């Protein structure tokens, strides 16, 4: 490839050189708090890893030795009960920071849905570095606060919304997702891509796969959405769907 010849150093596999400079997630991630001139110090702490779909890279209960920063792709984060019941607590895509759990063990598992690139940091080393970069600590607090708000919203969904409202909320949330999470323009996307299976959606929304399927079929038959393929939903009536999602949609 001609690009290989134009920038040989970058592609040289023996040189782990300046990964941040070419990181697509940098602008959206916690790293944005770090000055360009200090990036090499951050880069020195990081290891780039690749995770294939279906592969886990965090196992609930394991010693929490690393922080992770998703560079591309999507993962599902989940907790299990001993009999196999599963709750997906979120999906992590480009820019997402993982591993905030305070204790010494991870409190959830993470598995790739799509091919992923992840930037991995030694936990103790990054913690030390945080002392020198309060701006990054500030950014982490911001991120954690945002996740907390999202978690509370999800509790409302799981505790009090109907299946119909849960699906509507899920689709609206996906459609309103920041553009870098999947490369489309900002604002509502009317086409929503679902990299996860129906089973994952069910485990995220506290439902069964059959209820998810039936409810989507119903929304389609009412003209609110179209489903050109199992992993693609087109939102036809965004406002109506939003009304359902918020709990003021009737039925």
Question: Rule CB under 8 A: which residues touch a copy of itself?
Answer: 79, 81-83, 85-87, 89, 100-103, 107-108, 130-131, 134, 137-138, 140-142, 144-149, 151-156, 158-161, 203, 205-206, 246-248
Which of DNA, a copy of itself, none has residue 164 at its interface (CB below 5 to 8 Å by kind)? DNA
Site for DNA in 203-222 (CB under 7 A): 206-214, 216-217
Binding of residue 188 to DNA (CB under 7 A): no
Closer residue to DNA (CB): 37 or 85: 85
Q: Rule CB under 7 A: choose which of 50, 64, 163, 243 binds DNA.
A: 163
- Choose the one of DNA, a copy of itself, none that binds residue 197, judging by a C-beta under 5 to 8 angstroms depending on kind: DNA
Instruction: Output the six-digit token pair for 177.
Output: 């997702």
For residues 212 and 205, what is the distance between their CA atoms, to the nearest angstrom? Answer: 9
Q: What SS3 state is found at 11?
A: helix
192 binds DNA (CB under 7 A): no
CA–CA distance, 157 with 167 (Å, rounded to integer): 10
Nearest to 199 by CA among 190, 212, 184, 188: 212
Stretch that binds DNA, among 4-12, 20-28, 59-67, 201-209 (CB under 7 A): 201-209
Choice between 152 and 217, CB closer to DNA: 217
How buried is residue 104: exposed, middle or buried, by Cβ count under 10 Å (0-12/13-18/19+)? exposed
Rounded to 5°, angle at Cα 44 from 43 and 45: 90
For residue 251, give every residue at least 6 positions away whose Cβ sits within 8 Å of its Cβ, in sequence order, or none: 164, 244
CB atoms within 10 A of CB 169: 22
Query: Interface residues with DNA (CB under 7 A)?
Result: 162-164, 197-199, 206-214, 216-217, 227, 229-231
């Amino acid at each position: 490839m001609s690009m290989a010849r134009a920038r040989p150093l970058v592609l040289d596999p023996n040189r782990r050189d300046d990964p941040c400079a070419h990181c697509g997630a940098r602008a959206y991630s916690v790293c944005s708090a770090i000055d360009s001139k200090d990036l090499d110090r951050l880069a020195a702490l990081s290891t780039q890893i690749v995770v294939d779909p279906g592969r886990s890279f965090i196992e609930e209960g394991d010693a929490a030795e690393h922080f992770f920063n998703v560079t591309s792709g999507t993962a599902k984060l989940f907790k299990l009960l001993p009999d196999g019941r599963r709750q997906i607590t979120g999906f992590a895509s480009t820019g997402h920071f993982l591993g905030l759990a305070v204790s010494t063990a991870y409190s959830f598992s993470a598995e790739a849905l799509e091919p992923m690139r992840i930037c991995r940091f030694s936990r103790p080393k990054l913690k030390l570095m945080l002392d020198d970069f309060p701006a990054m600590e500030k950014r982490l607090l911001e991120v954690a606060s945002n996740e907390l708000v999202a978690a509370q919203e999800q509790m409302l969904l799981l505790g009090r919304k109907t299946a119909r409202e849960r699906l509507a909320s899920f689709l609206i949330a996906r459609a309103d997702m920041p553009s870098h999470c999947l490369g489309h323009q900002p604002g509502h996307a009317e086409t929503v891509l679902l990299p996860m299976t129906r089973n994952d959606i069910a485990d995220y929304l506290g439902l069964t796969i059959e209820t998810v399927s039936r409810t989507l079929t119903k929304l389609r038959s009412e003209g609110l959405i179209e489903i050109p393929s199992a992993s693609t939903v087109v939102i036809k009536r965004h406002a109506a769907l939003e009304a359902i999602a918020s709990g003021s949609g009737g039925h």
